Structure 1
Amino acid sequence: MTSIERTAYPRFKKHISKKELEQVYTPSQAELNFISKLARKYELRLGATLLLKSFQRLGYFPVFKDIPRPIVQHISELLNFQGNPYLDYEERTLYRQHQNIRSYLDVLEYNRKGARIIETSMTAAAQVMDNPADIINVAIEELVRQRVELPAFSTLDRMAGKIRHAVNQSFFDMVNAKLTYYEKDQLEELLNVADPKQKSILNTLKELPKRSSLQHLQRLLDHIVRLSNTVGANYHLDGIPHTKIKHFAAEARIMDVAELKDFNVAKRHVLLLSLIYRTRIKARDDLANMFIKRMNHIHQRGKDELEQLRIRHRHKTEFLVATLSNVIDTLDTYPEDAEAGRAVRQLLIDQGGLEAIQDDCAAITAYSGDNYYPLLWRFYRSHRATLFRMVHLLDLTSTSQDQSLIQAINLLLEYENRRIAIIDEKVDFSFTNERWKKTIIKGDKINRQHFEVCVFSSLAAEIKSGDISIYGSETYADYREQLLPWVECEPLVANYCEQLNFPNNAQDFTTHLKDWLSTVANTIDQNYPSNGHVTIGENGVPVLKRHMSKEPTASSKELETTLLQRLPERNVIDVLCDVAHWTGWTRHFGPLSGSDPKIDNPTERYILTAFTYGCNLGPAQASRHLRGTVTPHMLSFVNRRHCDVNKLNSAMEDIINHYHQFKLPKIWGEGKTAAADGTKYDMYDQNLMAEYHIRYGGYGGIAYHHVADNYVALFSHFIPCGVWEAIYIIEGLLKNKSDIQPDTVHADTQGQSAPVFALAYLLGINLMPRIRNWHDLKMFKPDKDVKYKHIDSLFKDVINWEIIETHWQDLLQVVLSIKTGKISSSMILRKLGNYSRKNRLYQAFRELGRVVRTVFLLRYISDLDLREQITATTNKVEAYNGFTKWLFFGGGGTITENDPEEQEKIIKYNDLVANALIYHNVVDQTRILKELVNEGYLINREDIARLSPYITSHIKRFGDYIIDINIVPDPVDVEFSIEQNE
């Protein structure tokens, strides 16, 4: 059975606030008039009113005894009912009231039509969803949309289980009908273990890649070959939606051989085939990542070698300079050319001879101008055989009409086993730069060694930029195939443009942008004389007025001190327990099947698991401090089998949504803006995620957080140190499904890229990064002929409006594809993160981004309040980074997991614990502030605005931990007002 807590099935709250009673359960005058006509007796009026207001809230009629007492008392007082609120109707009276209330609310009774609606919606949902709770939620949404009464939850649960089983079984039967007897035997062989000391073949297929090295690259290629030789082909799973395949694969991944054998044969085969299919995709992604890292490593070694050569050649350079100086002195001493020539020749002979000096000049000239390319062969040579093997295994395709690199790769393959130094072929080198051409081409011949290094370097760059795609990959697939076809986009354009106030055709859209840029530039120019926040010097460089931070007042310091003194001491587990009671965040955890957890005390286990991983203690260490309450295996089991990234995101949303109901955080911010920033977490280096971070030092990954202006964390990603953080600025907002939906995002300098500005603008997101080196960014005029009286020197170039108008359809196709979930914004921005002359999408986004960024920069330099707002909000996310690190106190703050999915889960757990503590701190702060107001303490809004929920002084982190989930905390009070105090 599916747990009702995991669904959207409406139920009465355990604790109902006074405000909710007034807003939700108070009948209007029209409703009272309807009730008076429906029933004459006070008792029947009370019952009818309770049924009406309950049905409006729930969508079905509850049993009288299930209606919470506060609701009964509230409505009794409104109706001046003095008798016993215990109600017991005759069946026909109750039936009549039900019918009349349905008619009044224009809702249909649940009957066969309702059952058909449920069956149709659930069948469609089960094609792409597997969790019964999600399938039930779809049916509930459809019943509400069609204004049909909700049936009992048991009815929905029974139908969801039945339909899900039927849909899945149809998939299982379809796939098994395609399998031959030999293929079925091969699948069963994956689960056999001949030697108890060895692992099954299935476990070897689940192996994760290690850190980027030549040896591990070779092992990954071996792994891909094993996967290719393993049973299963794409056609076996044809007809099964991709989301279902991912779910089946995730289910198979967390199970061991014995558990898989417990399934029926048909299901077992589909789970194994799904796992093999997804593992092949993941292996290709990992191979591309490792290849890009290896080529970057080779180039870095070349740069380092060049620097060492410069150091070694420095004395030669000094010698040659001294020699040249002596030559000049000699020429100055001997006025006659003949005498001067003989003296110079003798001087050069004395300095070592012409040949030696010429060699020194050649050595220095060879590596001048930062050209380290000739040095790369030495470091590439050991990789040569492995990289050729990789090219043979991968199916590479150009995503543009330019086939020059693919042709170069094919030429390389022809010469793979030939031992020649020169290639006498005509090659189109349009795929590379001039420096490489000068290195490769000598006369009309091609140096084979340098040519090889150039081709593989270009391949790595074009895979990263999306100009080359890998068939069967996910991250590096052809992004064009993942876009929504324009035929499907076209009907959506008008409505989408209307929502964002954009013109719905290319010409008007371009004109709209040009007018916008012109208007802003003219306004800034006109207001410049009265703007004391920026001055433009004679050299055309603007100077911004420095922002002076405000010192806290004595009253704000006193308020903060008083609050800290009154905060009760708590430990992290108590906080998680209290917040679980208030928000029910643990309801999202459970088996992947969606059924009720078959473990003892599931809520307690979920809290302990969140504490264990969120504070980075690890199962063994946490178990020791929990005095044997749970074993390490129990904690590890719950983490692996009952928690995944999606469940953690849903649990976070519950806490955020309850947090958003409080009045106190709204003094800090309305939740309309958010800030994005990353912080490094240390890791072991034996995984593909870990990279060395130059700024922070050491190996690790980046937790990239989106934090609202009211201090709560909305979403997070865990990404490698070397990745361009800007690609996740927008994705975090799009994936945030909570009630707090910011439309403005601030970021650090990473967010200043023109394509990011463009994509944010088209998605209706106002990007306002904090830009440190903004002088280095170009501003663009709307027209080359326009001249500004005061700010003309700010502009360095002109917008190419033709590019935007020409590619308007491409821009809209990308945005609508993101909005419909066909492709992620991070994948698109990854393609746009590197300049590519082949990528027309890049060129269009860059030009649009130049418009949006210029408008922002003009406002940024002329508006001190805007700069202060950006600084204040980005400071909050930086403070949040420190707050989460304080809670991440176990294991020396180092993530010990090598599985990327587990690494991301740990960051999500950490965010969950952090948000729970933020929520609890706001509960305590609200209570204390109300006490202070009642005691006559003078409080003003400015002092409260300086407070923060990132308080840790009262939190106990270390020692033994005791959990008692049965202790029910006092109900929270979200209301807070200081009007009476001001």
Structure 2
Amino acid sequence: MRRKFTELEMAEHWTLSPKEMEIPAGKSRITRLGYFVLLKYFQYENSFPTTRRDIPTAVVEAIGDQLSINPALFSEYRLDDRTASRHRSAIREHLGVREATNQDGQPLIDWLIAEVLPHTSDDPTVEAEVDKWLRRKKIESPSDERIKTYVASAKNSFEKSLYQRLLNALPEECLNAIDAMLQLSDPELIDGQGPDTAEMPDGETAPLTFHQIKSDPGRASLESVFREVAKLNSIKCLMIPDAPWLAIPPRELEVLKRRTSSYDSSELRQLTSPARYVLVAVYCWLRRREILDGFVELLVSLIHRIDVRAERRVEKELLNDFKRVRGKSQMLFKIAELSVENPDGVISDVIFPIVPKDSLDAVVKEFKSGGPAFRTIVHKVMRNSYSNHYRQMLPRMLDNLVFRSNNTLHQPVIEALEILRTYRNDRFQYFPDHVDLRLESVVPAKWRDVVLEEGKDGNERINRINYEICVLQSLRIQLRCREIWVEGARKYGNPDEDLPSDFNERRADYYADLDLPSESNDFINKIRLEMAEALQQLNDDLPRNRYVKLREVGMNRIALEPLDEQKEPENLHALKIEINKKWPATGLLDILKETEFRVGVTDCFKTAASREALEKPALQRRLLLSLYGLGTNTGLKRVVTSEIPESYKDLVYAKRRYITREFLRNAIGKVVNATFAARDPEIWGEGTTACASDSKKFGSWDQNLMTEWHIRYGGRGVMIYWHVERKSVCIYSQLKKCSSSEVAAMMEGVLRHCSDMEVEKNYVDSHGQSAVGFAFSRLLGFELLPRLKAISKQRLYLPGPGTAANYPKLAPILARSIDWGLIAQQYDEMVRFASAMSNGVDAESVLRRFTRENAQHPTYRALQQLGLAAKTIFLCRYLNSLTLRQEIHEGLNVVENWNSANSFIFYGKSGEVATNRLEDQELSVLCLHLLQSSLVYVNTLMIQRVLREKQWRRRLKPEDLRALTPLIYLHVNPYGEFKLDMGDRIQIESM
């Protein structure tokens, strides 16, 4: 049972009704108190406590207060004597409940098979449904072991019947193809997942092994395209029908897919016939969607590469023989003067002696490097690269991808792709005259002269290769903003499927969920009033604000005084030394182990197989060692020593069968919530609702689509985006591409963080904010508080036309007024997109629709206007409040401190993510998050243990407590021998 309840929960579940107070429960105060404790406990749990420890102290105190009986008397009430037995019988009779018998098991199992398991197999959900069934039947809940036995039996029976039903729906050809694929031998396993690069056979129709189908795409290249085509062809050859899987909930399909991915071919061959065929079929059926996404991702990258590489090559060639010319104006003046004075002179005699020929050559080359001639040269190089190499991907793309669009404006691109598909096998330089080719929305104006060439007869003809390049470039732009989508894909699939289909029918419910007014005028009037008040406040306070000055002219019109540097409190260093004295060289593995003892981290990990055979102590050790090896980046082999009984294969088994992204997030959430619960408010203050988010670059292997070159930090790698609350507890982490939107990552963390914390404020740097980000933060109900690097160039927008005169002191930084009419027109659509994000749709999938490539989208324009209004309100507060600027700066310093600790823990392999598999990359990041969260949790307990001593509590000043952080590691040793003694504990307090 839960140990803590809110006041509302105590009143709801543990309050005695007037009728209950009249129940004769014995004359003795002890028996009366014991009776009512058992009664309320049974009403809450549908069972009786077995030991006194099952009953929270707060419950006994609450019931004792209602009965005017001293709660301490409950210690004299025995749960195993005749009085307690009579009380249990009386309570059953009073509530009309009977004890469970063995005959109740089969009806319960039959009900689970018929009503519950077709919709979900999640253990907590199924057990909650069992509790409801028992309460409806007026049956006392049996022991947890019996319930688990019933659930396991029902799952086993349901699974067998499901497998048989799905097997009957698979054609004989499909079964034979699956057998043939599983007979192919997989490569040797590395850390339980196979090698990082899967060698593909020659030809796109050659059979692939199961492991090769499981492999991720390589880096963007033609070879990777051919590999993805080979995977699609192999799955197509399996002839898996669609119908059997459409009736199964998507979440349950993902459970079956996860189970299949934990096996290799040899293990799948050992499964019974129904399970083997069904698991492989459902995996490949779902895997096709992921392969399509990878295929599209490769195409988008390759199309971009053609253009970028051409520009770089031309720039390099031009820069090799070109130097920037200084003093061009003076040089041209001399040429003009000499020409006027010597109109009949010879250039070599008059001009070259004064202005050397080499200088004039440099001027010509400089013009070519930046003018129209530069684009012409770039296109020539791009055409050569495409026609000689990259054009091989075009027929693969046309044969395997079906493009769609829900917007008529982009139909010309779809029609152009159909024409390319029709004539893909024909050989001609120019399209025939009878082909109706669309140029608008396909060929940019700057390429018209290149695509349209004049023939011998004087008529314009369309160059086929140049047209293909323009089609691919337009396709890339529309795929990125999801105006064009791919049939059957997930990430690049139909964007309308992300939006709530019942929005119009349940409009009021969606508005209520977001706490927004259903009428656009009410929403607009509130924001307009806030804008006017914020602008007026800043205007009135500006003369007295010595930290902010406005310039009348220039681009940089806001001059903001830097914040004063704050000194480190003098007692914090002494506190770190004291902790190091009490717990010197504490092993990081021991910290993880102590967290396991106190929180039960490993309880979050369930087997992917249909049953679990490992004993809990053995599984506990294997999981802890595996989590440590992954979180420190040392790998599984490095944590296996002669002093521990676990072998490398044992850890590989634990990783493959138990460690997944979902379970790691559950474990992290458990540690984070335990940290919040363990905090002493006198030391750490009351719970906060603010967090800071920022990214950190990690080096990584580059034979994958996740790794990219970082334009700010340099080098190839990936980004990890952290959300850290103000006392150094990280509530969410994400693995992202270097080019991914930090605004989307910020919103994803706020919406999907794995903790009980309510996020009302989010601090970000300049890259974590945008006008669209401000708009969605307003719709989703949290404050976006950025630290803007380019604060000097910011502008404030007006709440209405003609209102600039109301704010004369802000005139240098005032811009136009907000278009409220556009916001009112698109209000429903904006709320619809916000509801989609709030209900689980990936934020990046939504925000990709609102980029500069899609600037004319009416909803995007409305979001821009709403975002500018929200940003204006924020800027007024930011400029007017020194306290707010300090708050944002301190919050971002916390996440910077979190980033500094990453390299201390993630030290293996030089801190580089040494794998090309996306899933393994994500596991490494989440294990790092788990280890660092465990460090914060144990440090919180250690600091509180030290501060219980009076001399330390008196010694710390308010500024010490303000700067106190549990993210310290002077006393931690992440290296050394890996000894795991389950009988040894960290002595934080008496056990």
Tell me the TM-score normalised to structure 2 length: 0.86
Shift of 1:465: 1.0
Moved more, 530-539 or 605-614: 530-539
Aligned equivalent of 2:749, options 701, 715, 732 = 732
Which residues of 2 match residues 457-536 of structure 1 at below 5 A? 457-485=473-501, 488-490=502-504, 492-498=506-512, 500-536=514-550
Report the AA paired with residue 173 of structure 2: Y
Which residues of 2 match residues 52-67 of structure 1 at below 5 A? 52=39, 54-55=41-42, 58-64=45-51, 67=54
Question: Helix, strand or coil for the counterpart of 1:896?
Answer: coil
Moved more, 674-683 or 205-214: 205-214
Question: Helix, strand or coil for the counterpart of 2:892?
Answer: helix
Which residues of 2 match residues 41-80 of structure 1 at below 5 A? 41=28, 44-45=31-32, 47-52=34-39, 54-55=41-42, 58-64=45-51, 67=54, 78=71, 80=73
Shift of 1:33: 9.2
1:347 to 1:151, Cα distance in 2 relative to 1, 3 A:
farther
1:427 aligns with 2:438: yes
Aligned equivalent of 1:589, options 597, 605, 613 = 605
Q: Distance in 2 between matches of 1:423 and 1:319?
A: 52
Instruction: State, as a whole percentage, how many aligned pairs show the same letter.
Output: 21
Q: Distance in 1 between matches of 2:539 and 2:357?
A: 66
Aligned equivalent of 2:826, options 807, 828, 831 = 807
Matched with 1:678 is 695
Question: Helix, strand or coil for the counterpart of 1:813?
Answer: helix
Which residues of 2 match residues 561-576 of structure 1 at below 5 A? 561-576=577-592
Shift of 1:910: 0.7
For the 8 Å contact 2:208–2:234, the answer to whether it is kept is no
Aligned equivalent of 1:780, options 787, 792, 797 = 797
1:358 to 1:953, Cα distance in 2 relative to 1, 3 A:
closer
Matched with 1:367 is 373
Q: Distance in 2 between matches of 1:29 and 1:127?
A: 39
For the 8 Å contact 2:219–2:704, the answer to whether it is kept is yes
Q: Distance in 1 between matches of 2:177 and 2:855?
A: 47
1:617 aligns with 2:634: yes
Which residues of 2 match residues 175-190 of structure 1 at below 5 A? 175-190=166-181
Which residues of 2 match residues 619-698 of structure 1 at below 5 A? 619-624=636-641, 627-664=643-680, 667=684, 670-698=687-715
For the 8 Å contact 1:570–1:955, the answer to whether it is kept is yes
Q: Distance in 1 between matches of 2:58 and 2:324?
A: 92
Which residues of 2 match residues 826-865 of structure 1 at below 5 A? 826-837=844-855, 839-865=857-883
Moved more, 141-150 or 167-176: 141-150
Q: Distance in 2 between matches of 1:130 and 1:725?
A: 35
Which residues of 2 match residues 173-572 of structure 1 at below 5 A? 173-193=164-184, 201-312=209-320, 314=322, 327-334=335-342, 340-341=343-344, 343=346, 365-368=371-374, 372-381=378-387, 382-402=389-409, 403-413=411-421, 416=424, 417-420=426-429, 427-431=438-442, 433-437=444-448, 439-441=450-452, 444-485=460-501, 488-490=502-504, 492-498=506-512, 500-539=514-553, 541-572=557-588
Report the AA paired with residue 943 of structure 2: Q
For the 8 Å contact 1:400–1:467, the answer to whether it is kept is yes
**Structure 1 portions without partners, runs of 5+:** 1-9, 335-339, 975-982
1:164 aligns with 2:155: yes
Question: Helix, strand or coil for the counterpart of 1:592?
Answer: coil
1:317 to 1:577, Cα distance in 2 relative to 1, 3 A:
closer
Q: Distance in 2 between matches of 1:280 and 1:31?
A: 62
Q: Distance in 1 between matches of 2:112 and 2:779?
A: 33
Shift of 1:907: 0.6
RMSD: 4.2
Aligned equivalent of 1:942, options 950, 955, 959 = 959
Shift of 1:566: 3.9
Question: Helix, strand or coil for the counterpart of 1:701?
Answer: strand
Q: Distance in 2 between matches of 1:868 and 1:128?
A: 50
For the 8 Å contact 1:209–1:220, the answer to whether it is kept is yes
Q: Distance in 2 between matches of 1:82 and 1:398?
A: 71
Q: Distance in 1 between matches of 2:513 and 2:56?
A: 44
Aligned residues between the structures: 946
Report the AA paired with residue 772 of structure 1: K
Question: Helix, strand or coil for the counterpart of 1:469?
Answer: strand
1:865 to 1:51, Cα distance in 2 relative to 1, 3 A:
same
For the 8 Å contact 1:749–1:769, the answer to whether it is kept is yes
Shift of 1:863: 1.8
Shift of 1:937: 3.5
Tell me the TM-score normalised to structure 1 length: 0.86
Shift of 1:469: 0.3
Q: Distance in 1 between matches of 2:534 and 2:484?
A: 40
Shift of 1:917: 0.8
Aligned equivalent of 1:954, options 960, 964, 971 = 971
Moved more, 569-578 or 370-379: 370-379
Q: Distance in 2 between matches of 1:677 and 1:905?
A: 20
Question: Helix, strand or coil for the counterpart of 2:948?
Answer: helix
**Structure 2 portions without partners, runs of 5+:** 189-200, 202-206, 455-459
1:688 to 1:69, Cα distance in 2 relative to 1, 3 A:
closer
1:146 to 1:853, Cα distance in 2 relative to 1, 3 A:
farther
Q: Distance in 1 between matches of 2:667 and 2:412?
A: 50
Shift of 1:41: 3.5
Moved more, 124-133 or 627-636: 124-133
Q: Distance in 2 between matches of 1:95 and 1:186?
A: 61
Q: Distance in 2 between matches of 1:687 and 1:629?
A: 36
Matched with 1:820 is 839
Report the AA paired with residue 836 of structure 1: N
1:393 to 1:972, Cα distance in 2 relative to 1, 3 A:
farther
Question: Helix, strand or coil for the counterpart of 1:831?
Answer: coil
1:129 aligns with 2:120: yes
Deviations along 1:236-264, one digit per CA (max 9) or x if unpaired, are 42212222222212211111233323433
Report the AA paired with residue 656 of structure 1: V
Which residues of 2 match residues 783-802 of structure 1 at below 5 A? 783-787=800-804, 788-802=807-821
Moved more, 665-674 or 896-905: 665-674
Q: Distance in 1 between matches of 2:965 and 2:136?
A: 41
Q: Distance in 2 between matches of 1:36 and 1:971?
A: 46
For the 8 Å contact 1:48–1:97, the answer to whether it is kept is no
Report the AA paired with residue 408 of structure 2: Q
Q: Distance in 2 between matches of 1:930 and 1:80?
A: 30
Q: Distance in 2 between matches of 1:724 and 1:36?
A: 63
For the 8 Å contact 1:38–1:97, the answer to whether it is kept is no
Question: Helix, strand or coil for the counterpart of 1:550?
Answer: coil
Question: Helix, strand or coil for the counterpart of 1:590?
Answer: coil
For the 8 Å contact 1:330–1:343, the answer to whether it is kept is no
For the 8 Å contact 2:552–2:812, the answer to whether it is kept is no
1:229 to 1:737, Cα distance in 2 relative to 1, 3 A:
same
1:545 to 1:266, Cα distance in 2 relative to 1, 3 A:
same
Deviations along 1:367-387, one digit per CA (max 9) or x if unpaired, are 358984454223323101213
Which residues of 2 match residues 924-935 of structure 1 at below 5 A? 924-933=942-951
Report the AA paired with residue 533 of structure 1: Y
Moved more, 394-403 or 658-667: 658-667
Q: Distance in 2 between matches of 1:26 and 1:349?
A: 99
Report the AA paired with residue 470 of structure 2: C
Shift of 1:512: 3.3
Report the AA paired with residue 831 of structure 1: R
For the 8 Å contact 1:678–1:705, the answer to whether it is kept is yes
